Amino acid sequence: MKVVVPIRSVRETDILIDDGADELFCGIVPPEWKRRFGFESPLNRRETATGNLASYADLQEIVAGAHDRGVDVHVTLNAHCYAQEHYQVLPSVLGRLARLDVDGVIVADPGLLFLIKKMRLPFRVVVSGEAMATTAAAVALWRTYNAARVILPRQVTPTEMGRITRPFADMEFEAFVFSDDCFFEGGVCNTIHHFSSDTFCHEFLQRAEGWGRMRGMGDLVGRGLTLDYFLRMKRTACGICSLGTLKKNGITHLKIPGRTGPLESRRAGIRLVRDAVTLIRAGRAGEKMIAQMTQWRQAVEEAAGGRDAAEAQRLACLLGNSCYYPDDPVLKKKRRDDFGPPRRKKRGALR
């Protein structure tokens, strides 16, 4: 399983590769796009300058440095769809990327895949999670456009991954490991990523009046766990404990998202994923790995935010509140062992 990591500046190239990145991906808003459309009509799904490279020169330097280390670089062109005006500029952007020896592009709009195929560009085509390929039939469609890899959306469960990947032994499949666990993420997110100090949906929910404490959390509610706690845990969701299950279900690449996130956060993510993959190769995928990775995740949180952060992470792992893949059969078994089977509601009881 290879680790795919976002990069946002030239200086990060060797740092991320030294930490264990097998592949890098980045965004860029070229001058010709910026002049004509600005950031309001994005080339990719990060609509801020901080989430994208500033120039083709930076991209060229990253590609050269990564190739010297045997690492591929992909560029995100994963807006949900492009307008007719965009398609007047996209051919020149694609041609420039080809001349810079970029290894692949990450795409969501079927029209752009058609254009890449028509131009006979030498890219590896990776279908973005924004394309919402949630069935084997969708993957079969993308393969007709020469897609070599599909990034499965966040909403797909590990069991569903197995059903999707099984018919396509000749393709690669990528899954998310960290970050947002919002159901309206990826292809079903129709807001923007830099509204005020936060994304629009998070800001709205955190400020909405009338929210009470979280329900259904037993005596932990008495400790003051509120919606804000729930949102924070879901925004730092973690799929480390499920990597053994993902591997069994055909996942070949593990994506650490966060192009706008701090470098240290991405570095910590690489190290955690690398440690988990090492345990899997040693035959320790299962409850032993879950226990080990839970401890390491708490250590990371404690280093970043102190004992309170570590305790919050311990509770989140215990309850499954920060699990990226809560439907993982291994995790469900562990929760049954820890808490017993879920209680059945009495007939006629209020929900």
Whether residue 345 lies inside any domain: the answer is no
- pLDDT tens digits, 7-35: 999 999 999 999 999 999 999 988 888 88
* Residue 344 is assigned to a structural domain of this protein: no
Query: HEC profile for 275-299?
Result: HHHHHHHCCCCCHHHHHHHHHHHHH
**pLDDT at position 230, please?**
45
Regions in the chain scoring below 50 on pLDDT: 195-197, 207-234, 350-351
In a domain, 91, yes or no: yes
Question: What is the pLDDT, as a whole number, of residue 351?
Answer: 42
Beta bridge partners of 44: none
Q: What does the pLDDT read at residue 9?
A: 92
pLDDT of residue 213: 39
Q: Name the domain count of the chain.
A: 1
Does residue 346 lie within any of the structural domains? no
The helix (run of H) or strand (run of E) holding residue 204 is helix 200-207
Q: Can you give the CATH number for the domain in which 158 is found? A: 3.20.20.380
H helix runs in 209-344, sequence order: 227-235, 243-248, 263-281, 287-319, 329-339
Domain of residue 288 covers 2-339
Per-residue model confidence (pLDDT) at position 121: 92
Is 350 among the domain residues?
no
Within a domain: 130: yes
In a domain, 303, yes or no: yes
Is 110 in contact with 79 (CB distance < 8 Å)? no
Q: What is the model's pLDDT at position 343?
A: 56
Q: What is the pTM of this model?
A: 0.81
- Report yes or no on 349 lying in a domain: no
